[in-house]
Amino acid sequence: MHPNPAFRRSDQALHDKLIREVAFGTVFLTTPDGPRAAHVPVLAYGQDDLRFHLARRNALTPHLDGARALITVNGPDGYISPRWYDNRDTVPTWDYAALELEGTVERLSDDALETLLHDVITTFEGRIEGDPWLASESSEEVWSSLFKGIAGFSLKVEEQRPTFKLSQKKNDAERARIAARVRPQLAHWMHEVGQ
């Protein structure tokens, strides 16, 4: 989390929107073998329940149930050049939207994992043009074999640390110039957060 309080937003709807739009995060945990991270699709089931799945052979899997872990959800980011400012006597910076979510992890039941998998498929297939792929297109043999190779988890969110560093300290004209030059996803979040 950025130390400047100007970049923290306690707006739960904004946090939920970032999680929903990105739907991908990094799970961090210190294991007996040292710090480890896993990159996973992440879906919210309410504001305090993030769910994800991992391969059973992932280094985190045997250590997550009951552990306190961290998930980061990183939104769009981009380099910000001083040439876009009124006063160029400064230094470059980086704008970004990110959310750190910390809490205790619980292993999901097989039924809850099955629901999560279908929800992940529905979420991501819905973002692709054309007829969606359906889980029913997998044979029982293939689905069952893959299902046995994964484990599902729920992080019960106890702390949220947001950073929405989106040129809020700049005037309207500078922010408009910056938004016109960065990737559309980052400009969208600049407009979403406002001053």
pLDDT in tens, 145-174: 999 999 999 999 999 999 999 999 999 999
Question: Domains in the chain: how many in total?
Answer: 1
Instruction: Work out the pLDDT band at 41, boundaries 50, 70, 90.
Output: very high
User: What is the token pair recorded at 32?
Assistant: 């007996």
Residue whose pair of structure tokens reads 């739009």 in the numeric block: 21
For all residues of the chain together, what is the average pLDDT? 95
CATH number at residue 144: 2.30.110.10
The confidence score (pLDDT) of residue 4 equals 84
149's enclosing H/E stretch is none
pLDDT tier, 47 (very low <50, low <70, confident <90, very high otherwise): confident
* pLDDT score recorded for residue 9: 84
pTM (2 decimals)?
A: 0.93
Band of pLDDT at residue 195, cut at 50, 70 and 90: low
The domain in which residue 178 lies consists of 5-193
Q: Which neighbouring-strand residues pair with 44? A: 50
Mean pLDDT, residues 111-135 taken together: 96
- Beta-bridge partner residues of 29: 36
Q: Which of 75, 95, 72 minimizes the C-alpha distance to 17?
A: 75
Per-residue pLDDT reduced to its tens digit, 81-91: 999 999 999 99
